[in-house]
């Protein structure tokens, strides 16, 4: 079975972020042909095009990590009905300098948890618009808008609720299949039929 390296972003900088806990759970539940590397965002300065002529090392490292990934997974909270500033800043860095968009053609998945009932749905809608502009194909279904229940997870990211575990495992299986289809379509030069295949 072909192996894929997935670069993942945690959209919160908080050390006790529930989305960091969720990232651990997703990795544990993922198919064996996926390996994961976190792409850090906390040390990036605020983006300005003044940097474009002399890109700093931290920006180059970000772009290199994205470009070395077969697929991308965004695991993020929702701040004020939108994308957290640190995550949006990282996206802006990786899309620059002009003509060197690191996201182009990279299959991506969006997942988010919040304590509220809508579970990051508005943030993900905003992210889809941004990623579409950046030419990153997205897994559109199933969707993960998780209303986080602390009792369903332990500190190591083990999922203690079977229905939640089954749902997240199903998502990661669909995501793995989507990554494979996008990369195959890229290799063959036709990226048209990328609709999810539901099991």
Q: Could you report the per-residue pLDDT of 25-72, keeping only the tens digit for each?
A: 999 999 999 999 999 999 999 999 999 999 999 999 999 999 999 999
Q: Is the peptide bond before 50 cis (omega within 30 degrees of 0)?
A: no
Is the pLDDT at 191 greater than 80, yes or no?
no
Q: What is the mean pLDDT of the chain?
A: 93
| CB neighbours of residue 52 within 10 Å | 13
* Torsion sign across C-alpha atoms 101, 102, 107, 109: negative
Provide the pLDDT for residue 1: 83
pLDDT of residue 193: 43
pLDDT band at 197 (very low <50, low <70, confident <90, very high): very low
- Strand 144-147 relative to strand 71-75, pairing: unpaired
Task: Please tell me the predicted confidence (pLDDT) of residue 20.
Answer: 96
CA–CA dist 171, 165 (Å, integer): 10
What's residue 195's pLDDT? 40
pLDDT-derived band of residue 188, with 50, 70 and 90 as boundaries?
confident
Q: Across residues 79-105, what is the average pLDDT?
A: 97
Residue 190's pLDDT band, with cuts at 50, 70 and 90, is low
CB within 8 Å of 133: residues ≥ 6 apart? none
């Amino acid at each position: 079975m072909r192996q894929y390296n997935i670069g993942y972003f945690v959209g919160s900088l908080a050390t006790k972020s529930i989305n960091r806990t969720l990232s651990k759970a997703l990795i544990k539940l993922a198919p064996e042909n996926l390996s994961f590397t976190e792409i850090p965002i906390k040390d990036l300065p605020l983006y300005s095009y003044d940097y474009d002529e002399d890109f700093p090392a931290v920006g180059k490292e970000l772009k290199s990590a994205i470009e070395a990934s077969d697929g991308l997974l965004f695991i993020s909270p929702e701040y004020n009905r939108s994308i957290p500033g640190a995550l949006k800043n990282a996206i802006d860095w990786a899309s620059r300098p002009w003509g060197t968009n690191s996201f182009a053609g990279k299959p991506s998945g969006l997942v988010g948890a919040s304590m509220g009932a809508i579970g990051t749905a508005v943030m993900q809608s905003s992210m889809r618009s941004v990623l579409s502009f950046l030419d990153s194909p997205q897994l559109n279904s199933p969707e993960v808008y998780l209303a986080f229940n602390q009792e369903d997870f332990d500190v190591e990211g083990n999922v203690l609720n079977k229905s939640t575990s089954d749902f997240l495992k199903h998502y990661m299986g669909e995501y793995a299949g989507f990554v494979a289809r996008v990369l195959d379509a890229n290799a063959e030069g036709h990226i048209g039929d990328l609709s999810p295949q539901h099991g």
